[in-house]
Chain A
């Protein structure tokens, strides 16, 4: 991928244009059009199976790894069509980092987990420095600094989730896709992750899929409400929460739809 022609606010970091994704007969996303401005936090909210994960995975071309997945429409990263012929999906995933809903650590040491991405891309710098930086940003450094060679599987599930965040941060991606990053965490750890997200906002564009309506309200500049694979409403978080245009959004926010 070449550098984008211009990096003004006019070109959004990510944009979906009439994006549809189906898995065999099942339509997971139906004609979604939205753009994610650079340097903002955008929340994707919606009931279970509404397509949040599928949308995030469309942003870094992960859906195509699922046999039978069919994507139509366009996704643009800094204005470049991600499905264009010269675009390398490996490069896309290095620049658009993703943290998965289910934390899956590699059965290796904490350090090797954090070093995975940089090693895969042939990082030439100091891996230890990078690992410390990433683990600190994910709020895990103080807990693992003593023993970076400990097996990652020996961590608690909340720690594993933060390790997965650190692992993605070590890629130094421009965009972070966070899929329910706090679903396995207690309130204290959740608060720590949320403050990390606040800090990361300075030099990242962040897309956050979450079930936590209040988390979306606390963290994001813009919020998108998905239901049944369709984008129902998208706008400034405050407007969407206080004055939703669509009755479906309103019933979701007031808890009438789980």
Chain B
């Protein structure tokens, strides 16, 4: 027996090259960041307070702020977003109003983050009197993530084969049993991918938080949603505005910290997804 002849596959080769280029560009980016951040490469950097002196400054409050924002955003955007998607796909009558809500959400998903900041400033910071707090930031970021979560979740729900629903309804299942027992488990991996995407877009966003009034020189790490709004992206922004070379290293270090946070979040989502897929097999 001979090995199968290698067929020429120009499209496959082009895609492979593109993937390689993306990976290479990413590696170069990370390498530059790491070199830049070398002066601050010590574990204390993650815990220390930022200071007017570059020496010994750290991202402690900003890191804690970003973790709080991630938690608040997930806690608000995931239940509301998944609930909306389930309602629109499985419960709402197929009326023109439902279609309108759907396309409105899709266009919200493409609205620039800074616009959410302006809306959040009016609604959460001033209107609801939250002030420039982590809670106001979490609400704004949740609003930013929501359309993406809804759109991705709807697509995941729609990709569940109709045969599965029919089989369950045909066996006398109630709508809730069908949604809870069949549709959600089958759609969950796709939903998670959407949540992941929304998160990457959200947790790295600086613009809306700057509009809300994020602070960059805190002397304590935030301990709750009512504490002042601070985050890694806004901290990076503040440091890059300073001219001294040392602050560039700090900004790069904060960039690495942000990438680590995103990486950890993606790995966590991947692990959950693995477990879900195993469970459904």
Q: Check: B170 CB closer than 8 A to any chain A CB.
A: yes
B163 touches A93 (CB 8 A): no
Known: A90-B174, A120-B174, A151-B281. A62 touches B169 (CB 8 A): yes
A100 touches B171 (CB 8 A): no
Residue of A nearest to B186 (CB): A107
Q: Which residues of A contact B168 (CB under 8 A)?
A: 106, 116, 120
- Cβ contacts A115-158/B at 8 Å (1 or 0 each): 01100110000000000000000000000000000010000000
Residue from B169, B171, B173, B174 having most chain A Cβ neighbours under 10 A: B171
B170 touches A106 (CB 8 A): no
Q: Check: B55 CB closer than 8 A to any chain A CB.
A: no
CA gap between A164 and B166 in the complex, in Å: 12
A167 touches B161 (CB 8 A): no
User: Using a Cβ cutoff of 8 Å, how many contacts connect chains A and B?
Assistant: 61
Q: Check: B263 CB closer than 8 A to any chain A CB.
A: no
A93 touches B172 (CB 8 A): yes
Q: Check: A211 CB closer than 8 A to any chain B CB.
A: no
Q: Which residues of A contact B243 (CB under 8 A)?
A: none
Pick the residue among A90, A102, A171 that contacts B163 (CB under 8 A).
Answer: A102
Known: A90-B174, A107-B280. A65 touches B169 (CB 8 A): yes
Residue of B nearest to A170 (CB): B171
Q: Check: A60 CB closer than 8 A to any chain B CB.
A: yes
Q: Check: A246 CB closer than 8 A to any chain B CB.
A: no
Q: Which of B140-188 contact A (CB under 8 A)?
A: 161, 163-174, 177, 182, 186
B94 touches A67 (CB 8 A): yes
Q: Which of B190-240 contact A (CB under 8 A)?
A: none
Q: Which residues of A contact B166 (CB under 8 A)?
A: 62, 65, 100, 104
Residue of B nearest to A117 (CB): B171
- Cβ contacts A76-92/B at 8 Å (1 or 0 each): 00000000000000110
Q: Check: A207 CB closer than 8 A to any chain B CB.
A: no
Q: Which residues of B contact A167 (CB under 8 A)?
A: 171
Q: Which residues of A contact B169 (CB under 8 A)?
A: 62, 65, 93
CA gap between A117 and B174 in the complex, in Å: 11
Residue of A nearest to B165 (CB): A65
Q: Which residues of B contact A151 (CB under 8 A)?
A: 281
CA gap between A144 and B168 in the complex, in Å: 22
Q: Which residues of A contact B280 (CB under 8 A)?
A: 107-108
Pick the residue among B161, B164, B173 that contacts A120 (CB under 8 A).
Answer: B173
B164 touches A104 (CB 8 A): yes
A93 touches B165 (CB 8 A): no
CA gap between A62 and B173 in the complex, in Å: 12
Q: Which residues of A contact B182 (CB under 8 A)?
A: 106
CA gap between A12 and B55 in the complex, in Å: 90
Q: Which residues of B contact A90 (CB under 8 A)?
A: 172-174
Residue of B nearest to A105 (CB): B167
Residue of A nearest to B175 (CB): A90
CA gap between A214 and B68 in the complex, in Å: 70
Q: Shortest Cβ distance from B180 into chain A, in angstroms?
A: 11
Q: Check: A94 CB closer than 8 A to any chain B CB.
A: yes
CA gap between A167 and B166 in the complex, in Å: 14
Known: A106-B182, A107-B281, A151-B281. A117 touches B172 (CB 8 A): yes
CA gap between A98 and B167 in the complex, in Å: 9
CA gap between A130 and B107 in the complex, in Å: 52
Q: Check: A168 CB closer than 8 A to any chain B CB.
A: yes
Q: Shortest Cβ distance from B169 into chain A, in angstroms?
A: 6
B163 touches A100 (CB 8 A): yes
Residue of A nearest to B173 (CB): A120
B164 touches A106 (CB 8 A): yes
CA gap between A106 and B168 in the complex, in Å: 9
A93 touches B170 (CB 8 A): yes
Q: Shortest Cβ distance from A56 into chain B, in angstroms?
A: 10
Q: List 23 A-B contacts (CB under 8 A).
A: A62-B169, A62-B170, A65-B169, A67-B94, A90-B173, A90-B174, A91-B172, A94-B171, A98-B170, A100-B170, A104-B164, A106-B164, A106-B167, A107-B186, A116-B168, A116-B173, A117-B172, A120-B168, A120-B174, A120-B177, A121-B172, A168-B170, A168-B171
10 tightest Cβ-Cβ pairs between the two chains A and B: A94-B172, A104-B163, A117-B171, A120-B173, A93-B172, A104-B167, A98-B170, A67-B94, A90-B174, A120-B177
6 extra interface residue pairs, beta carbon distance < 8 Å, beyond A62-B166, A97-B170, A105-B167: A65-B169, A93-B172, A104-B166, A108-B280, A117-B172, A117-B173
